[in-house]
């Protein structure tokens, strides 16, 4: 007999979800930092070129991990939100999470297409040459560069909003939401 019931939401996230969250968060922070530092270095120095390589490797890794994370999320029921949370906050939390997932995929793609349009290869970890998806094109180069920067600005804003929401839940609401995502609280 097949059950039509929906599985109950767990009390916390799985260890895999927690690990993916923090690993991707760390990589995104490193990618932001490298992006700001490398674009502030004048000319094409060996250090700047090294930072660009690391930035691209981080982007490819975030993209791959984001795919794993989306698949994991689609196949594992996340914990429910607190019962007393207002509907507007529930909708906002869901919207921010959907946007974060989308940006974790879209930003690396925009960066990759920017490099392809610039005729600059992406050699992952200095070992695996990734295929160029589009031909060199100065118009597309400018478009994808702008898109990459704008999407990163949006991501930065959403990350700040996400962190502020965590602080609100921890300090004001004291609803234990943060403990569900802390790796050492399991």
Q: What is the DSSP string of 87-108?
A: HHHHHHHHHHHHHHHHHHHHHH
Q: Please check whether residue 72 lies inside any domain of the structure.
A: yes
Q: Please check whether residue 1 lies inside any domain of the structure.
A: no
- Spatial neighbors of 151 by CB under 8 A, at least 6 apart, are 103, 106, 107, 110
Contact present, 44 and 65 (Cβ < 8 Å): no
Helices 87-117 & 46-75 angle (0-180, nearest 10): 140
The 8-class DSSP code of residue 175 comes to: -
Q: Please check whether residue 6 lies inside any domain of the structure.
A: no
Whole-prediction pTM value? 0.88
Contact present, 69 and 60 (Cβ < 8 Å): no
- Residue range of the domain that includes 147: 15-185
> pLDDT tens-digit profile of 123-157?
999 999 999 999 999 999 999 999 999 999 999 99
Q: Please check whether residue 59 lies inside any domain of the structure.
A: yes
Q: Please check whether residue 10 lies inside any domain of the structure.
A: no
For the chain, first and last CA: distance in Å?
Answer: 34
Q: Please check whether residue 39 lies inside any domain of the structure.
A: yes
Q: How many domains does the chain have?
A: 1
> pLDDT tens-digit profile of 90-99?
999 999 999 9
């Amino acid at each position: 007999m097949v059950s039509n019931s929906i599985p109950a939401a767990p009390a916390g996230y799985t260890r895999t979800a927690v690990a993916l969250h923090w690993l991707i968060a760390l990589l995104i922070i490193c990618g932001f930092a490298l992006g700001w530092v490398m674009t502030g270095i004048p000319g094409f120095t060996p250090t700047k070129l090294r930072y660009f390589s690391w930035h691209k490797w981080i982007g490819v890794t975030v993209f791959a991990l984001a795919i794993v994370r989306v698949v994991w999320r689609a196949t594992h029921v996340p914990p429910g939100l607190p019962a007393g949370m207002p509907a507007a906050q529930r909708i906002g939390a869901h919207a921010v999470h959907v946007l974060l997932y989308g940006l974790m995929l879209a930003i690396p793609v925009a960066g990759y297409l920017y490099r392809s349009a610039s005729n600059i290869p992406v050699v992952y970890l200095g070992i695996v040459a990734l295929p160029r998806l589009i031909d060199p094109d100065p118009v597309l180069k400018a478009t994808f560069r702008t898109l990459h920067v704008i999407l990163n600005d949006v991501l930065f804003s959403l990350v700040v909003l996400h962190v502020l929401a965590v602080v609100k839940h921890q300090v004001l609401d004291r609803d234990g939401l943060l403990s569900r995502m802390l790796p050492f609280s399991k």
